[in-house]
Amino acid sequence: MVGRFQIKEAAMNCVICKTGQISAGNAIVTLQRGETTLVIKNVPADVCDNCGEYYLSEKMAERVLELGESAVKKGVEVEVMRWAA
């Protein structure tokens, strides 16, 4: 399948730096597909305290992807938004 957003799933240990501790925090999530770039601030996520990599829960990833899909449908080029719980 072409053009799917890729979101990393939650993990206990940081898979990027291997040494980081992951704890609850907020992330800035950037989605890109074709001509659409969507930046979502303040997304609840597990964040690595070492390298800053973030991990979204499955539920959060779904909601983030929904926002991404609707941005694509609207023909958004660049949009910055804040997560609304």
Chain contacts with Zn ion (rule: CB under 5 A)? 14, 16-17, 20, 48, 50-51, 53
Q: Kindly report the CA angle at 15 between 55 and 56, in degrees rounded to 5?
A: 10
Complex with Zn ion: residue 14 or 67, whichever CB lies closer = 14
Identify the bridge partners of residue 23 per DSSP, sorted by sequence position. 47
CA-to-CA distance for 67 and 43, rounded, in angstroms?
12
Rounded to the nearest whole angstrom, what is the least distance from the CB of residue 25 to Zn ion in the complex? 12
Complex with Zn ion: residue 37 or 50, whichever CB lies closer = 50
Rounded to the nearest whole angstrom, what is the least distance from the CB of residue 71 to Zn ion in the complex? 28
Rounded to the nearest whole angstrom, what is the least distance from the CB of residue 46 to Zn ion in the complex? 11
Complex with Zn ion: residue 20 or 25, whichever CB lies closer = 20
